[in-house]
Amino acid sequence: MKRNAWCAVGVLGSLMGCGSMQPEDYLKEDMRKVGFIPYEMPIAEAGTGTLVGGSAKAMIIHSGPQECFPDLIANQPTGIRKVSGIDLPTRASSYRVSGRARVGLVDALGKGNSPVKAGIQFDKAHSIEWSYTRPTREYIDSVKLIPFYQNSMPGNYVDSNTGTQKNACKDLLNDVGFIREAIKIDAMTFKFYDSKGLAIDLNFVDPKTLLEFGFGTQVDVVRKYELVVSTPKYIGYRMGKATKANNGLSLCSATTFGENGKYNFICDSFDTTSVARALGYAPSSAVQGPMPKFMRSLDKIVPIQGVYKTK
């Protein structure tokens, strides 16, 4: 099998002398093939429901995935977040990279969750074999999202100046976007080779001196030569936008962005009251507590950058 400049033998691909493209380019290509945007920068939380501003090239985190899109409210499941399997072009493959491509691979894997970077003894590894397993697609269920937005979204508070009820999440979502879908890999495996092409015994070389991992990353040595990182990592996403529209909701999605980093949104509008009634949801006006601590003053929010089109 040959894919552009990436030489492959069986399921083992090699970048040694196989062209100018870097591993990051191929990872991005794989994401685009399945209609997802590759992460451009390291961020601590990249899962569905994360509120973000800025652009695809300069993403700014405003809140974590559970603040406005929680899995549980009052110990009851919301059902808005779903997980399914996904077929990726490289899901069963492993790749061995050497020379400058090693650095490119580490830089690419430093994107998204569980960032990776070269360690102090990184040069001992003249080549690296890398693979990942169990890719999953995590997404916000649009059918559940519409009544959830109308009746259950956290963030209700009473404005101390006017005495009126507001919702911090809805106010913020008018300006920023959220991760609507994301691709996650559950485990990555690394195998390191010395200058003679022999696998490096990780019982004698501390693997954490070869690669450094972010806080909370689970790392294990398997069969002496394999370093398994079992902390989930997000590698691609689709952007969402949920905006108030009269008595309804404008729900948008972006799977691409322009050269300036602005997302290309496609939008639909829904009458949220009609949808909620059709699904049997009872309206709720209960105040859900004070304004959440994660919120910033809206005049300091960096809005999402996008071009919007209606279907």
Residues 103-115: tens digit of each pLDDT: 888 887 877 777 7
- One-letter amino acid at 142 equals S
Residue-wise pLDDT for 230-265, tens only, equals 888 888 899 999 998 877 788 999 999 998 899 999
Radius of gyration of the CA atoms of the chain, in A? 22
Q: What is the mean pLDDT of the chain?
A: 80
Phi, psi of 95 (to 5 degrees): -130, 135
**Helix %, strand %, coil % for the chain, to 5?**
20, 40, 40
Task: Report how far residue 138's alpha carbon sits from residue 141's, in angstroms, rounded to the nearest whole number.
Answer: 10
Residues 254-278: what's their mean pLDDT? 83
- pTM equals 0.79
**pLDDT for 6:** 34
Between residues 288 and 68, the one the model is more confident about: 68
**Residue 189 or 280, more confident:** 189
Tell me the β-bridge partners of 199.
193
pLDDT value of residue 296 = 55
How far is 117 from 102, CA to CA, in rounded Å? Answer: 11
